[in-house]
């Protein structure tokens, strides 16, 4: 139906005729000349910087290529990944415990968690790592047993804890303080009615937590946790304070100390860090999708099941939505109506 047809319809005779609302709007698009200008300027500047970088001798691209897959570098990259994974796993577990402690009705438990956060969030991680590096000076022996009696087991701290272990301890204990706040925010974001409903069904506190509250809080917890993992990956470059020298950044510094050519090795380290963060970002995307079940895919709420499938299916094209925003029941997706 065209506009001319509509205006040509006899007036007064068809008041009940449905509005021909589906006439597509044909309008001259609004121009944005300044957008084009800005875009062009930015592209030109960016290209100039890139071209300049490509030919600047200080970057020493041939050396970058030579060291990018150097065995010492790739081994160090593995250590960096190990540091990140171990520290993060411990930090998340500890963070959940601390978050639950902070929400505990027991004031002593609550205060302990608060004190932990105050100390570990309130001091720089580099300082903490340095102190952990000196742990064997502070506690030269570790005794297991009942206080004031002969210990059952006794270790020299230096034998028990490798530099790598100390680095993991230092990184994870610091990170746990941040994770605790993230988890706590997630737990508090879940509606109180959820806990009540689970309790009313006779579920225990542990069941309520693991089956109802935590899965829902994941949606809130995952995005900032993804941030923390990426942040942790980069913070591993500080374990030189322990001093652990086998990870990516310290290793590339050590190599450049021999070659007297630091810049290409810094680029090499950066490229590896970038590769890892890129992989982490992809992983986070899929995790977020997984925990958005039942919530993230929320579209228009259906009013009545009968009319919803009949009236909406396939005839609700929404401009700019791809795939088309049509309410599709999970089971009987309407095929071919669109």
With beta carbons less than 8 A apart as the criterion, state whether 316 and 325 touch.
yes
Report the residue from 294, 310, 317, 324 that binds other proteins according to the rule CB under 8 A. 294
State both tokens at 272: 């590896």
State both tokens at 327: 């309410």
E-state strands within the chain: 141-144, 153-156
CB nearer other proteins, residue 258 or residue 304: 304
**From the CB of 145, what's the least distance to other proteins, in Å?**
34
Q: Which residue has the tokens 């087991």?
A: 153
**What is the footprint of other proteins within residues 186-205 (CB under 8 A)?**
191, 193-194, 196-205
Site membership for other proteins, residue 338 (CB under 8 A): no
Report the residue from 12, 33, 330, 335 that binds other proteins according to the rule CB under 8 A. 330
State both tokens at 141: 């022996």
**From the CB of 300, what's the least distance to other proteins, in Å?**
10
Site membership for other proteins, residue 19 (CB under 8 A): no
**From the CB of 203, what's the least distance to other proteins, in Å?**
6
Site membership for other proteins, residue 29 (CB under 8 A): no
Cα end-to-end distance, the chain, whole Å: 19
Bridge-partner residues for 141, per DSSP? Answer: 156
SS (H, E, C) 147-203: CCCCCCEEEEHHHHCCHHHHHHHHHHHHHHHHHHHHHHHHHHHCCHHHHHHHHHCCC
**From the CB of 305, what's the least distance to other proteins, in Å?**
7
Which residues of the shown chain bind other proteins in the complex (CB under 8 A)?
A: 191, 193-194, 196-205, 207, 211-212, 215-216, 291, 293-295, 297-298, 301-305, 327, 329-331
């Amino acid at each position: 139906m065209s506009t001319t047809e509509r205006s040509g319809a006899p007036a007064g005779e068809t008041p009940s005729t449905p509005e021909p609302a589906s006439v597509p709007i044909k309008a001259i698009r609004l121009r944005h000349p300044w957008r084009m200008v800005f875009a062009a300027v930015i592209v030109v500047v960016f290209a100039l910087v890139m071209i300049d970088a490509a030919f600047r001798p200080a970057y020493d691209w041939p050396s970058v290529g030579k060291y990018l897959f150097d065995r010492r570098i790739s081994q160090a990259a593995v250590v960096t990944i190990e540091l990140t994974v171990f520290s993060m796993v411990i930090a998340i577990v500890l963070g959940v415990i601390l978050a639950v402690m902070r929400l505990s009705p027991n004031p002593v438990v609550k205060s302990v968690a608060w004190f932990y956060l105050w100390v570990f969030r309130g001091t720089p991680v580099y300082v903490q790592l340095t102190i952990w590096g000196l742990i064997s000076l502070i506690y030269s022996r570790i005794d297991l047993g009942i206080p004031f009696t002969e210990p059952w087991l006794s270790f020299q701290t230096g034998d028990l804890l490798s530099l790598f272990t100390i680095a993991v301890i230092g990184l994870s204990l610091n990170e746990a303080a941040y994770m605790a706040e993230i988890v706590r925010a997630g737990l508090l974001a879940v509606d109180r009615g959820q806990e009540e409903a689970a309790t009313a069904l006779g579920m225990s506190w542990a069941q309520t937590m693991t089956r109802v509250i935590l899965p829902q809080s994941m949606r809130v917890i995952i995005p900032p946790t993804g941030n923390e993992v990426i942040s942790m990956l980069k913070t591993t470059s500080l374990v030189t304070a322990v001093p652990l020298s086998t990870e990516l950044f310290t290793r590339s510094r050590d190599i450049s100390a021999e070659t007297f050519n630091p810049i290409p090795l810094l680029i090499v380290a950066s490229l590896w860090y970038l590769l890892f963060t890129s992989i982490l970002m992809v992983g986070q995307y899929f995790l977020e999708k997984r925990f958005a079940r039942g919530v993230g895919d929320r579209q228009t709420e259906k009013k009545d099941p009968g009319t919803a499938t009949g009236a909406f299916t396939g005839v609700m094209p929404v401009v700019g939505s791809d795939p088309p925003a049509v309410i599709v029941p999970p089971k009987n997706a309407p095929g071919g109506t669109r």
